[in-house]
Structure 1
């Protein structure tokens, strides 16, 4: 299954549907705490401040979703990073419908995000992953991310990964 063959919705996101898809995915996960849980209000505020959400479909069936979140100064402190926050993008929650797990979709989403955020002028990508989520960790490492630290948040412990984005 190729991401580019799926129908993509990336504007006028129906947040109720997004939350429904995320909660469905979480309800089918062995460790649902691995996936973030922004509220509808959080999502509205994020979208109003430059965040972008993509939702992919096969016909009318939800397949996967990804998010990019512009960073701020508070994020640099929170993640213990010494970068110009204006050059940093956070690869937010990424999830795949359980029916489609095993199709390499997370890695394909990472590759798409890399190109998209570079085209927007970002130089550094960050991602946070629960330290036990080996599948996601392996995908980030395969995509060139490097572990820089670990932090505990209200949603639990998260490894902090950083990738320098290089234009070819």
Structure 2
């Protein structure tokens, strides 16, 4: 099976949200993943507060997976605040926010491909800190991020009391 990675446009926010919901709905351990809602994705894509990506099956055109990157700026939820980044550095933080691969397409390296494509775009925009949160027991996602140069820098409660590892990758 062959895939292409494409940037999502603003009016595709619902398609991205639908994939995220399908993945979340099928998860046994729902606290491992905080589902992004359609309104948040629309806001990110329409207001240039981030970028969306989709992995497309080349022969069918089906969406196999999606990824949302958000630029939190100086907002309170900027993960740079958790790790003590200086205020002037907060605008250089990109949240590698939500990634979801439909079960039937897992094992094709799509999480890796989506993250690498996003990283290239984020780097071109001048961001310096890539950050994400992962449930400490979600070994697959954590290993994928660590393999790409992310490091666990802290574990703490986020999202209303859920324990998360905070991961960081510095890029230049």
- TM-score above 0.5, yes or no: yes
Looking at structure 2, the residues matched to 142 and 157 of structure 1 have their Cα atoms a distance apart, in angstroms, of 22
Matched, 1:103 2:102: no
| Paired positions, count | 164
Structure 1: distance between partners of 2:148 and 2:5: 24
8 Å Cα contact 1:126/1:162 also seen in 2: yes
Partner of residue 82 from structure 1, selected from 70, 85, 88? 85
- Distance verdict in 2 for CA 1:141–1:77, change over 3 Å: closer
RMSD: 2.0
Cα gap change, 1:155 to 1:94, in 2 (>3 Å): farther
1:161 aligns with 2:167: yes
Shift of 1:134: 0.4
Q: Contact (CA 8 Å) 1:33, 1:156: kept in 2 or not?
A: yes
Gaps of 5+ in 1: none
Counting only pairs closer than 5 Å after superposition, residues 1-168 of structure 1 correspond to structure 2 as: 5-6=3-4, 8-47=6-45, 48-58=47-57, 59-73=60-74, 74=76, 75-76=78-79, 78-83=81-86, 84-153=89-158, 154=160, 156-166=162-172
Question: What secondary structure is seen at the aligned counterpart in 2 of 1:160?
Answer: strand
Paired residues of 2:5 and 2:114 also in contact (CA < 8 A): no
Question: How far is 1:50 from its partner?
Answer: 1.7
Mean alpha-carbon deviation: is it higher for 108-117 or for 6-15? 6-15
Distance (whole Å) between structure 1 residues aligned to residue 18 and residue 119 of structure 2? 26
Question: What TM-score do the two structures reach when normalised by structure 1?
Answer: 0.86
8 Å Cα contact 1:50-1:70 kept in structure 2:
yes
Structure 2: where are the runs of 5+ without partners? none
TM-score, normalised via structure 2 length: 0.84
User: How far apart in 1 are the matches of 2:80 and 2:126?
Assistant: 22
Deviation at 1:35, TM superposition (A): 2.1
Structure 2 distance, partners of 1:101, 1:32, is 18
